[in-house]
Each structure stands twice: as structure tokens, then as C-alpha cells.
Amino acid sequence: MALRWRISALVAAAACTVAAAVGVLVHEFSRNRELSQARESARVTLDRAAVTYTRTGEVQGSGAALDAPGLPGDLRDLVEQGRRGTEFTTGPAGPAMWAARPAGSRVLSVRVDLTTTMRDIGALDASIVVAGLITTAVVLPLGVLTAGRMSRRLRTAAGTARRIAAGDLDARIAAGPRPRDEIADISTAVDTMAGALQKRLLGEQRFTADVAHELRTPLMGLVTAAELLPEGEAAGYVRDRVRVLGTLVEELLEISRLDAGAEHADMSPCPVGPLVRDVVARSGPATTVVGADETADTDGDADGLTDGLTDGDADGDAGAATVRTDSRRLERILTNLVVNAHRHGRAPVVVTVSGDGRTVTVRDHGPGYPRTLLDDGPQRFRTGARERGTGHGLGLTIALGQAQVIGATLEFGDAPDGGALATLRLPAVPPPAGADPAGPAER
């Protein structure tokens, strides 16, 4: 049950409880007062009748009776013991208050009829019930209105928190004055947290971008110096490390642009099959392409491509499928996925293109993605691999960010029979330029 209706039910229950409690108290107070007055009246009448009976031996006209047939048995027994007393009864003759005392060998008693009094108390009870219902009918809508307002404010806070968690750091809960209560305190705390988080992330993004830019100048000097080294094993090693450093700097620059939202897709018709074959041809290790009009087993050059589909797998129209997307970014995504599959998985690596060209999967036959990646997504500088130095953890981060720029979805999972499986789904309708990339890392 929603909080709104829980509060409303609580308000209704509280109103009914208060009305019932007040009704019971008023009923008991009124009844006890009337009975007390009737008891006192019966005693006074009985005392007067006793005086008259002592003087005249008669009770006629005094309001009393001798040995009245309707006298309650318990009261009669009390009088026979030589005592006096009163008793309230509700017999067939109606409610009444009896008072009795000894009169020689006889019993002198007075009966005060309370039918009208009890009827008035019943009418009072009915009025209390009606008043309670009216009070509940008035209070309940006010409770629903107040609870609804509180619920809307809480839903707004929850929705804003979800937007912040999804990456919208500009989201804030409230604008304008708020009532000073606990919900307002929560809203203020969430807004303050979002502002602090935004400043921190923007600072980290600026730091990443500044570092990458500052590294480019000395890196170009290193590249030039490495080319001037005399040929040899040491020179080859230096050039390789400089190349790795250059790749890292370029990836950092790319991530900084994705973080800043500076990347915009340039949409145009793109034949997916040929693009996949080009990516596979440049990937280096042997890769199998399924559904792109041909199967490729390549060792780094296009000559390794062979015509035809993998047996029984693919749609013959996949190679001719054309989608509207940013071909440069799509190539970047697929290249990173294939390289990641070879680096962290095991052969064979299989790239499958759907018949309409909108779904591309990259699968290896290694141990699969780490659980942290499946739970939290790619995270930069965290490869999840046991061995160190085999990657910077940026490939899948960039692939995910570029997929968001072109409006595609990139999902990571494990194949049922083992191996990592990345699924890229291109949108049927390309989004407007300027998507907001997301960040986390790679195995």
C-alpha cells in the first residue's frame, strides 16, 4: 500500500478512535449522572414516605408502596436484613430506580421510572455517532490531501535521486520555498549531495582532460626521440612503450570529451556488414564473422577473408543491411569490443550481425566477464584481469560512452555455454546529437 493511503487510513482510524472514545466517555458520564440523580430522588421520596407512614400508617400519595410486587429480589433480601438500599433495573416495565427500607414487618419502596431518561441518553449516543462520522468525513479528506502532498514530495525526491544515480548531476529536487519539515531536510541534503558530487566529478573530469592535454607535448617529443634511436632491441621496446603511452593519452582525451558531453554523432547511412569485416580485418587475431555475408579468419590482413557464411548461422541479407548511424563511432565501439575479447578471452572470437544489421554481438570463449563488471558496468582503470599490464581498463568504458552518443545500447553478459558476450543494439530511430555518455570500466 502506498504511503499516501497508509497515512490516510491512519488518520481515519485515529479519527474514529477518538470519536468512539469521546462517545463512550460522554455516554458513561451522562448515564452515571442520571442514575445518581435518580437514586438521590428515590431516597428523598422514600424518606418522606417513611415519615408519613410512621405518622399515619398510610403511604397513599407519598409516591411509595408497601410490599410492591415488582421489587427486585436482591433489594428485598437486603431490606429483610434490616437495611436500606437502592437498585437500578431494566425489566419488562422499563428502566427504573428502586429504593427500599424496612417499615415494621413490611417493605416500604419507591420506584422512579427512567424510560424517558434512558431514551434521552440513547438519543445522545446517536448524536455522538453522527458527530463522529461527520468529523471523520471532514478530517479524512484533509488527511488524504496532506498525505498526498507529502507523498508527491517524497516521490519527487526519489525521482531526483534516481536521475542523479543515472548520471544527471544537474537534477535538483526543489526550486522555490519549501515547508520546514523532515522531507525538506531530506531534499536539502540530497540537493547538497548532488552539488558536491557534481563539483567533484567535474573536477576529476577537468583533471583527466588537463593531464591528457599536458601529456601530449612531451609525448610528441618522446615519439620523435624514439624514432631517432638506432635500431635495436632497446629501441624497439622504447617505441612500443611510447606507442602504448600515446594510445593511453588519446583514450584519456576521448573519455574526457565523453564526460564533458562534447561528443556529437554524425549520422549517415552505414552498411553494417562491410564495416564489421573491416574491423575484423584490422583486429589482428583470428576472428569469425557470422551474418555479414562472409566468414573471416584473419591474422591481421584482409587477405584472410573468405567468402560465405558460417554453416547454418546467419541471415544472408545481413551484409546488405544499412542503418543510419555514426560509422566512425560504430567502428570504434566494435574495435574495442573485439580487441577486448582477444585480450581477455580465448579464441574463437565470434562477431554476429543480425539480419537487419541493428544488433551486433561479440563473443569469446574465455572465462567470461568479471562479476564486478556485470554488476556495476565497465569502470576505467579496472581491467578485472589477474595479470597486470595487459590493458588500462578504458576500452569498454569508451565503447559504452560512444554507444550512448549514437543512441545505442551496449549490454555485457556471459554466454550460456561459457564466454563473454557483448551485445550492441542500434536504435531504429537515431537520437538527436549530444547524448550523455556514462563512464565505468573494463576487464
Q: What is the dihedral of CA 174, 180, 186, 189, to 10 degrees?
A: 70
Contact present, 368 and 422 (Cβ < 8 Å)? no
**DSSP state at residue 379:** B
pLDDT, one tens digit per residue, over 199-257 is 887 787 777 777 777 777 787 787 788 787 788 778 888 888 888 777 777 777 777 77
| Model confidence pLDDT, tens digit, residues 336-357 | 899 888 888 888 889 999 888 8
> Is the alpha carbon torsion for 122, 124, 125, 129 positive or negative?
positive
Which pLDDT value is given to residue 61?
78
Nearest to 299 by CA among 349, 263, 354: 349
Q: What is the pLDDT of residue 40?
A: 94
DSSP line for 297-326 = --SSSGGGEEEBPPTT-S-TTGGG-EEEE-
Task: List residues bridging with 413 in a β-sheet.
Answer: 421
Cell of 427: 536504435
What does the pLDDT read at residue 301? 39
pLDDT of residue 385: 53
Positions of the chain with pLDDT under 50: 294-319, 387-389, 433-443
Query: 194: buried, middle or exposed (CB in 10 Å: 19+, 13-18, 0-12)?
Result: buried
**Is-cis flag, bond preceding 348, omega within 30?**
yes
pLDDT of residue 302: 35
Q: Tell me what pLDDT residue 386 has.
A: 54
| Three-state DSSP class for residue 309 | coil
End-to-end CA distance of the chain: 42
